[in-house]
A = this chain, B = another copy of it.
């Protein structure tokens, strides 16, 4: 032991045998690092010094990729993210679902979080109110971490379980029995084969084919892959020539996709999947009798890349289509897992799948380049998809499960609309029908058994809450019905699930605009007619808004308001849809009076007050009895196609027979659209029953 040469107060045992000096732990450094010293192999200074240097180097390396922990309460999800990432990135990584309509651009103001503790840096934003800022509200996409951070998810950011139209036993009862003759794509045939003998030495495959032929299976165009062949001899002998063959039936050619030992009772499940831009719905179906044994739904995780299909395509161009595919698959596969868990069944039982979605959704899900969908002349890669295998596209099911994807007639009219028609059935009946699906886009079909015309109006996501200050989907706490006292301008409203209000959904907005107009709060141009002296009117800069619920009434302690900008967004949306009706009718040389029925599809229609929708000029002013609400017709059509060959063929026919009218460069549409940017319309004669005060 001796004293450190730099710190005489410290005793140390580290001795440099060459220079005969002691060094303390802090000073450990070889005096001759570059020269070979004969004591080196026994020198603690050299050993320890090297160790210390390496440790310090590792420490520096760690610092370069510094990571910070983020905790999201109240769920208490934790994640470590590298310095420089935003809280939105962290939320996506941690699988914390928060609204991000604009895909992190900082323009929608939906991704609100409350900063609880830590060290952050937020970009300035006008999308948070002073009151919100006081309460430490931040926008996740505009905030980076500088240290460990705790944030909480405010009431209005948490997405509640969506009310999905057509779920539950009511819909199950409605759908069951709709398909009389069940014909799955992948059929399982149990067989008991004759064992081979010297007098009957045909090959295993010929023996199998012979057995299949006896059951009435057409083996003339039956093919088989090399993988199945490789396992054939073992499979056939494993349970003494009893086997079950799974055969996929395709146009023209069938294929043996698996041969498994045993010929016990066959149970087979199917999946009907509606891949919406916003919501994904999964039905788990017993293929033997068509009963829906489980149903789940959830938000499409792609929503983190924006609300509408255009944003999704932009995101796919930037980050690659594989990312968007993964997001949709993650949602779908989670929903499948949930459904399977509910009934305690293995995924390998799932042998048939039908997917229904709009053109962008199906392309993204299948990892097909979507970029030409959004570029003139708007071309999808595929309209009619081949029958795929679940294993090839990543759907959680038996890898050989047959997947039918509803055909997409055009870039902006997709398989979800074909599904809707399949369910609505007017395509094979006489009455002239107008079919509307208002979701994140607005699709219209006009026709009957003789002809079908279709178009898509860029209605935008306003009716689903996109771009609207307090807009939200028809979830728990959404204001869905409103009336306003014409004297006091005091509103009366109801919310989904009767809880305190968190925002306004599409039907609520229609009610609200209708009521504001009828009570004279706003004019037919959508501008406020009363000023901010009224307690229900609020002024923020130039922007006036109507206070629907005061802060003390809401769980967020924030006023729920509806601004002039919101009203304008709604007028643009409803104008686009109404203009769509008009152009299709004119193309067909018809008018509204000739229409026998208007079918409204999609979650949006669920709480819709037809009268008020007419009042604002969203729907035409015709006999109220002609309107009919269909519910989620996309999932219903997918269910029908899942069970029946006939319906799958019908779907292909519908898709081929629709005439698509492109509005993007249609001058007539632009004229009609401009005329419809008024409440209810510039041509008031078209709305004789709407009485403006």
Given A226-B393, A379-B203, A42-B17 contact (CB < 8 Å):
no
CB-CB under 8 A from A690, the residues of chain B are none
Binding stretch for chain B, among A249-257, A330-338, A512-520: A249-257
Given A252-B253, A367-B230, A411-B201, A48-B41 contact (CB < 8 Å):
yes
User: Which chain B residue lies CB-closest to A382?
Assistant: B205
CB-CB under 8 A from A369, the residues of chain B are 230, 233-234
Identify A382's interface contact among B203, B376, B408, B664, CB under 8 A: B203
- B381 touching A204, Cβ below 8 Å: yes
Kindly state the interface size class of chain A when it binds its partner.
35 or more
Does chain B have a CB within 8 A of A366? yes
Q: Beta-carbon contacts of A210-230 to B below 8 Å, as 1s and 0s?
A: 000000000011011110011
Identify A198's interface contact among B1, B230, B251, B665, CB under 8 A: B665
- B253 touching A380, Cβ below 8 Å: no
- A221 touching B253, Cβ below 8 Å: yes
Does chain B have a CB within 8 A of A384? yes
Q: How far is the CB of A218 from chain B (nearest CB, A)?
A: 10
Does chain B have a CB within 8 A of A592? no
Q: How far is the CB of A202 from chain B (nearest CB, A)?
A: 7
- A204 touching B43, Cβ below 8 Å: no
Identify A410's interface contact among B201, B384, B386, B660, CB under 8 A: B201
Tell me the complex Cα distance, A369–B204, Å.
Answer: 11
User: Which chain B residue lies CB-closest to A660?
Assistant: B201
Identify A381's interface contact among B17, B225, B233, B388, CB under 8 A: B233
- B384 touching A205, Cβ below 8 Å: yes
Tell me the complex Cα distance, A48–B388, Å.
Answer: 63
Does chain B have a CB within 8 A of A132? no
- B383 touching A203, Cβ below 8 Å: yes
Does chain B have a CB within 8 A of A372? yes
Does chain B have a CB within 8 A of A197? yes
User: Which chain B residue lies CB-closest to A14?
Assistant: B42
Tell me the complex Cα distance, A237–B381, Å.
Answer: 11
Q: How far is the CB of A666 from chain B (nearest CB, A)?
A: 9
Number of copies: 2
Residue from A43, A250, A380 whose CB has the most chain B CB atoms within 10 Å: A380
Tell me the complex Cα distance, A386–B205, Å.
Answer: 11
Q: Beta-carbon contacts of A366-408 to B below 8 Å, as 1s and 0s?
A: 1111011000111111111110100011000000000000001
CB-CB under 8 A from A550, the residues of chain B are none
- B383 touching A662, Cβ below 8 Å: no
- B386 touching A224, Cβ below 8 Å: yes
Identify A13's interface contact among B17, B251, B383, B408, CB under 8 A: B17
Tell me the complex Cα distance, A660–B198, Å.
Answer: 10
- B44 touching A383, Cβ below 8 Å: no
Given A13-B17, A42-B13, A252-B220, A383-B206 contact (CB < 8 Å):
yes
Tell me the complex Cα distance, A250–B21, Å.
Answer: 86
Does chain B have a CB within 8 A of A39? yes
Does chain B have a CB within 8 A of A232? yes
User: Which chain B residue lies CB-closest to A388?
Assistant: B226
CB-CB under 8 A from A41, the residues of chain B are 48
Tell me the complex Cα distance, A6–B234, Å.
Answer: 68
CB-CB under 8 A from A203, the residues of chain B are 379-383, 408
Does chain B have a CB within 8 A of A196? yes
Does chain B have a CB within 8 A of A47? yes
Given A13-B17, A386-B224, A201-B378 contact (CB < 8 Å):
yes
Tell me the complex Cα distance, A230–B201, Å.
Answer: 44
Tell me the complex Cα distance, A250–B206, Å.
Answer: 19
Q: How far is the CB of A131 from chain B (nearest CB, A)?
A: 49
Tell me the complex Cα distance, A371–B378, Å.
Answer: 57
13 interchain pairs, CB-CB under 8 A: A41-B48, A198-B377, A201-B662, A203-B379, A203-B382, A203-B383, A204-B379, A226-B388, A230-B367, A233-B368, A233-B369, A234-B369, A252-B252
Given contacts A201-B411, A221-B253, A251-B253, 14 further A-B contacts (CB under 8 A): A13-B42, A196-B379, A201-B410, A201-B660, A201-B662, A223-B251, A226-B388, A226-B392, A226-B393, A230-B369, A232-B368, A232-B382, A233-B369, A252-B253
Closest 6 pairs (CB-CB, A-B): A253-B253, A221-B252, A203-B383, A13-B42, A252-B253, A198-B377
